[in-house]
Amino acid sequence: EVQLLESGGGLVQPGGSLRLSCAASGFTFGSYAMSWVRQAAGKGLEWVSGISGSGGSTYYADSVKGRFSISRDNSKNTVYLQMNSLRAEDTAEYYCAKVGSGGWNDYWGQGTLVTVSS
């Protein structure tokens, strides 16, 4: 059974940093790309960042480019999202998701809430 478990969310002041983790199980982790998708309260889904199976390629939405960094440790079956220079508009539920062979997100975690506020 595929499971994705996010952690690391919380309350942080504007300008602060936070690192999210997503522990995966139930599939050959290093064979699949992973994504982070966020959702502000009452709003739609926003793709944030993606990383290839090897970790050699990383991608970011314009809204987070230069502030967020995605990485993965295939020995620990974990993907990370380092978030720096956080802004109020980064407040959202953050989901990690496995990327299927055709680009769709076939499995999602339960989400972790990030709140940026003073």
**Residues of this chain that bind another protein (CB under 8 A):** 33, 35, 37, 44-47, 50, 59, 61-62, 95, 99-100, 102-106, 108-111
Least spacing, CB of residue 18 vs another protein, in Å: 20
Taking residue 2's Cβ as centre, other Cβ atoms within 10 Å add up to 12
Q: Is the CB of residue 46 less than 8 Å from the CB of residue 39?
A: yes
Q: How far apart, in whole angstroms, are the C-alpha atoms of residue 27 and residue 118?
A: 40
Tell me how far, at minimum, the Cβ of 75 lies from another protein, in Å. Answer: 23
Question: Strands 112-116, 10-12: parallel, antiparallel or unpaired by DSSP?
Answer: parallel
CA 63 to each of CA 16, 18, 48, 58: distance values in angstroms, whole numbers, following the listed order: 16, 17, 8, 15
For residue 23, the cross-strand partners are 5, 78
In the complex with another protein, the residue whose CB is nearer, 14 or 100, is 100
Least separation in angstroms between residue 10's CB and another protein is: 19
Select 39 or 84, whichever has its Cβ closest to another protein.
39
Q: Of 27 and 108, which CB lies nearer to another protein in the complex structure?
A: 108
Q: How far is the CB of 3 from another protein (least distance, A)?
A: 12
